[in-house]
Structure 1
Amino acid sequence: MKTDILAFGAHPDDVELGCGGTIAKLISEGKTCVIVDLTRGELGTRGTDQTRKEEATEAAKILGVAARENLGLKDGFLVNSEEYQMELVKMIRKYRPEIVLANAIDDRHPDHAKAAKLESDACFLAGLRKIETVLEGEVQEVWRPKQIYHYIQWKDVKPDFVMDISEHLDKKIEACMAFKTQFYDPKSTEPETPITSKDFYESLTYRAQDLGRLSGVSYAEGFTTEKLMALKNFDGIIL
């Protein structure tokens, strides 16, 4: 399956929180997108790995992604090992994305920064012809994405560029709130966490609004890049 965008997340809901608006926008423009979650989020204070799976499925439907997979790696203990790298290489070669959206390069949760490096290294390794991978009984062809963009998560990382999501913020929030066990719910009797507060829920809007204010649009999501970006022309830039 050839896809335009492959979005990795260390945990189910990382992608929705970090770049859900961007994915909704790109899909509305006819692009195809696949989400691959590295872990089941089984160490989360609220919910279970089963509820996270059900919520991830619902969020994927809301965004309209072509597929969603979970690699079942160990939550809380992600490492940039050969074993884990090869699991990601298989996904990159399976979906052959032009662009990979990856975890934040620096963040509160240690899995996020670890995942960012793991995802980046796997993108490079997926293009090496002497690394052979087999999926479902077939030898995979090599593939290296053209670009890797890291979305922003908990920390206020300065973006290298932003994506205008003014018409897609509502869908981003709807997809995030599909994770009912994880976010603001005044009726919940489960323990409070940093992401279950009303303030965190409201931050989905005001952080996007602030990036929009700085860039001249209503709402935006920020990304960092691993290499200097070159423009062919000025078309598409919002001035």
Structure 2
Amino acid sequence: MTSTVTQAAGLLSKYKEKKVLVVGAHPDDIELGAGGTVARLAAQGSDVKMVVVCTPNNLAKRNAEARKAAEILGAGIEFLFPEKEMRVEDVKTYQLIDRIDRLVRELDPAVVITHAASNFHLDHVMVHKACVGAQRLHFFDMLCFYPTSCHPVSTPFHPQAYIDISGTIERKMAAINQHVTQFGCRGLTTDHYVAVAREYGRLAGVEYAEGLEVSRLNLG
């Protein structure tokens, strides 16, 4: 397991000063599933953009929380459908695919990170499929997926890579703490996510880690 972490660390450094696109269905999804990885990529000099597809409620407050969280992680942020409160399910499939395709063409990212397919949330699965489908237009060097369920042990998520976030766990938790509107919702507590990171760290042989499923990896 430790060698997996070492290789992942080497892969991250490969994308220093490269563009990284991280997509989440809602505000807080990215921070919960990959906040430590985002912070680590940003700290090494990668150009990281977080993209939030939809905000289903409390539009102004939740988007403001997401902006603060992105700033803490060192990433830029964009809202794909910023004009009104809506769920991903409210977006026509072709519209979602078109927006993601345009985003990929504009950014030309080397790395794309988004939701895993194995997820209880239909909106997360829709975003996953749209990002995977964007490969027909653009070949990413790396495409990988993060878990976003509050209880990842209950979904069939099988990471092939572990990212050591021992140095960025505090920033991950600080970013999560910006989402005040979500406290008490779906078991969102810092204690829970610290425990998840500690468990991934145990599997990887480090203090704290995040797990990623790897779909595409160009070793160059």
Q: TM-score, normalised by structure 1?
A: 0.76
Higher-helix-fraction structure: 2
CA separation in 2, counterparts of 1:50 and 1:207? 29
Tell me what 2:145 maps to: 150
Aligned to 1:179: 179
Provide the rounded CA distance (Å) in 2 between the counterparts of 1:78 and 1:112: 13
- The alignment of Structure 1 onto Structure 2 pairs a total of residues equal to 196
Deviant stretches of 4+, over 6 Å: none
Matched with 1:201 is: 190
Structure ID, larger Rg: 1
CA distance 1:78–1:168, shift in 2 (3 Å): farther
CA contact (8 A) 2:32 2:148 kept: yes
Aligned-CA RMSD value: 2.1
Could you say if the C-alpha distance between residues 209 and 160 of structure 1 is closer, same or farther in structure 2, counting changes exceeding 3 Å?
same
Assess, with a 3 A threshold, how the Cα gap between structure 1 residues 58 and 230 changes in structure 2: closer, same or farther: closer
Deviation track 1:109-147 (CA, whole Å, cap 9, x = no partner) reads 22112211111112x2333xxxxxxxxxxxxxxxx3222
User: Which whole-Å deviations, capped at 9, do the CAs of 1:2-25 have from their partners, x for residues lacking one?
Assistant: 952100000011111110100101
User: Does the Cα contact within 8 Å between 1:195 and 1:201 map onto a contact in 2?
Assistant: no
Inter-partner Cα distance in structure 1 for 2:42 and 2:30? 14
Higher relative contact order (CA 8 A, sep 6+): 2
- Does residue 30 of structure 1 match 2:45? yes
Gaps of 5+ in 1: 43-47, 128-143, 185-192, 233-239
Residues 51 and 78 in structure 2, CA contact (< 8 A), matched pair in contact too = yes
Give 2:205's aligned amino acid.
Answer: G
Aligned residue number for residue 134 of structure 1: none
Q: After the TM superposition, which residues 1-239 of structure 1 pair with which residues of structure 2 at under 5 Å, given as runs?
A: 3-42=18-57, 48-65=58-75, 67-72=76-81, 74-77=86-89, 81-122=93-134, 124-127=135-138, 144-154=139-149, 155-156=152-153, 157-184=157-184, 193-196=185-188, 200-227=189-216, 229=217
Instruction: Name the CA distance, whole Å, in 2 between partners of 1:231 and 1:70.
Output: 31
Structure 2 length as normaliser, TM-score? 0.82
Deviation at 1:41, TM superposition (A): 3.0
For structure 2, the residue ranges without an aligned partner over 5 or more in a row are: 1-16
Q: Counterpart of 1:102 in 2: which secondary structure?
A: strand
Distance of aligned partners of 1:80 and 1:106 in 2 relative to their CA distance in 1, 3 Å threshold? farther
Whole-angstrom CA distance in 1 between matches of 2:219 and 2:74: 29
Q: Give deviations 1:43-68, integer Å, cap 9, x for gaps.
A: xxxxx111111101111111111x21
Structure 1 residues 10 and 174, CA gap change in structure 2 (3 angstroms): same
Percent identity over the alignment? 30
